[in-house]
Structure 1
Amino acid sequence: MQKYLGNNSNVMKQKNRALILNIIKDEGGISRAELSKRTGLSRGGITPIVNELLSMELIVETGVSVTDSGRRPIILELNADGCHAIAVDWTRKKYTAALVDFTGRIITREQYWFTDNDTLDHILKRLKESINNILCQSKAKRIAGIGVVAPGPLDIYKGVILSPPNFWGWLNIPIKQILENEFKLPVFVDNNANAYALAEKNYGKGRQYHNFIYVVVDEGIGAGIIIEDDLYRGKGGFGSEIGHISINMDGPKCECGNNGCIEIYATIPQIMRHVNNYTELGVLSSYLNIIRSRRLLRWDDILNGLKIEDPVCMNIIRKIAVYLGNVFVSLINVLEPEAIFIGSDIASAGKHLLEPIKEYLHDRTVTKDIHKTDLLLSDLEHGSLIGGAMLVLQSFIDSGNYGIFE
């Protein structure tokens, strides 16, 4: 993301275009006069750049705002149809491909659920077909690229899906090269936690925070970390693997080599494995025992149990809250974020998860008597897909070189 410092030099034309377009995106709407104040560029410097962006149909004039002086300046906003991205969310169960517009709205999407007989070659063939279908049906005049979101670990620079756990044995998939060769579009690759964080920062409650952590709990546990409005990735792109923070030094050995990682205890599959084992032995829950007598329990069963306040379901979520709270204490003490967002499947537990974590954090952080870190459930739908598109759209905006997409 561009920093808000402008320059009137012709040499800086592309940077100034990117600067102005970033501010318009971040503000959701802004006047020319306010752009001049924010960038330090003169009104004479702002006008030709804004006119260029209007002629490229990247922005639109949408109305007026009332100022203290009574003036009614025209507001500039992103043109939803000005640029699009293809987003691919590849999970352990399925992939979803979508066309996303310049304002983060999903226009169309296709899903494919994996079967036991699927091979990697077949999945890649189906994925190419899905993307091609979307491109053929699209009326978009400018598609800036493809953003692929997948479980880590990933090589985000080479665009390779390395060796995600429980990923059907598929390793070292050069997805960037495969899709670039097929579609002749730039391809960007990142993990799902980073994608969720980008979506939250640009289109959700995260817009009001400069520093926050987005925690994902589903088949794995990860985090997207926003520091001073930018995504933190670390030296090689592996800088937010919170699933491998140990909560039990004497616990079972994790695939990563550490002992007692939270991923061993608190992913959705691990939760359900333990619940099914416990109910097989018999627990004090007629609700769960009835279901377990017919089939294995599923995550939805736990969520439905929370609605009727089944005591065993409530205790399961409280235990998960303690596991997560243990990690959150470390994150807060090390990074001092303004907020932590909880997203993906675990967020469906709602207040039953949120309140016990808040209670756990209350007296356990260094800053407890100074300020509190906000703890929030993300309510942004399809965050991983939207974040995948944002990988493309942000790169497009930051380039300042919009003519190549004409």
Structure 2
Amino acid sequence: MKKVIKCGKFFSAVDDKVLENIAIVIDGNKIESVGPISGCNCDGCEVIDLSDKFVMPGLIDAHLHTLMNGEVTCMDDMGKKTIGDMTIDSMKNAQSDLMAGFTTVRDEGSYGFADIAVRDAINAGKITGPRMFVSGIPIGTTGGHCDSHYNPYITGQHSMGQVIDSPDAGRKAARYTLKYGADQIKVMATGGVMSIGDEPGAPEFTYEEMKAILDVPNSRGKISTAHAHGAEGIKIAIRAGITSIEHGMLMDEECMDMMVEHGTYLVPTIIAAERIVAMGVENGLPAEAVGKAQRCLENHGKNLEKCRAKGVKICFGTDAGTYYNRHGEQTREFGLMTEYGKFPVAECLIAATRTNAELMKWGDKVGTIEAGKLADVVAFDESPFDNIEIMNHCSFVMKDGVVYKG
């Protein structure tokens, strides 16, 4: 039986317009047509009445980690939990994302390929969850953002990443990651906030190492993504052929110009640093991490305004899973985007739908509400154009034509 969704207010994400009294006709898991309710024949259809709601495409979070859920102990947990533990955690966190309106997520690095296991189980219908685009195990360097800092006599896999220190090792790590089913390659181009002993502004790879890694996904039509705060690490990644820069909180104007020239996407993840700064040391966060986050967040808003003015392609991502940044609650990023960078509401919504779909090369199936696209639809009780905080309270979720909430 076909479904008809009656929408009071309707945002397709094809453009920045909000329409009223629109009907979405769904056949199976795809959108058949979109048009005025007055011209829609609902005979024989299941009618879903959202005439008092704001309806839009399913949200996409382009940067999160399903294996963590905001715990202060999350880095140490990688040396204590089994892959089985991590996989179950990833499943439950992904389900929280779906209930918050994220029908698609991009997992930016996992442990032991737990993200791939969860993605495949969702796709096979074994469990429920959002559509997942996954990285597998990220690639970093000795002492870098995805290395561990356990006693050197402790051996085995106990960090989030594969550690490499040469072009050949980087090439092998990328091939290994794709071999086991990753959708993209994730690299740690600079130090980070949550890791110990590194600096967010410092590059991790040489150009030769980065190029060797990225030649693998680029030769296979895959995308790539770089955790990168500092300007030099960002520039190395862009020159080597990266698809997206994650965070980018310490970039300079040359970085911005290079991103425009190369068509590189930016995923700002404001909430990741904001949560660390807001919660602070008094809540048990490491003082080193709080200090790093403060330095990263200091000029992020001004830089985002410059990125918008220059035409950098900006996505929506949250780094959900990092300290005090819990799955299902990461929609706070919408409000932060209007505060940091002065994003208009329409730009926020398009970043979290159409632009993210284009980043993942999934623009032909998700990201907008149009005929032929998958039936991913969410709704809110009022318009975010009137109150951006309503994005924290999704009241209706449909993925692939199936209603999961509301």
Instruction: Tell me whether the two structures share a fold, i.e. TM-score over 0.5.
Output: no
Q: Is the radius of gyration larger for structure 1 or structure 2?
A: 1
More strand by share: 2
Q: Which structure dedicates a bigger proportion of its chain to helix? A: 1
Q: Which has the higher contact order (CA 8 A, sep 6+)?
A: 2
Normalising by the residue count of structure 2, what TM-score does the alignment of the two structures yield? Answer: 0.31
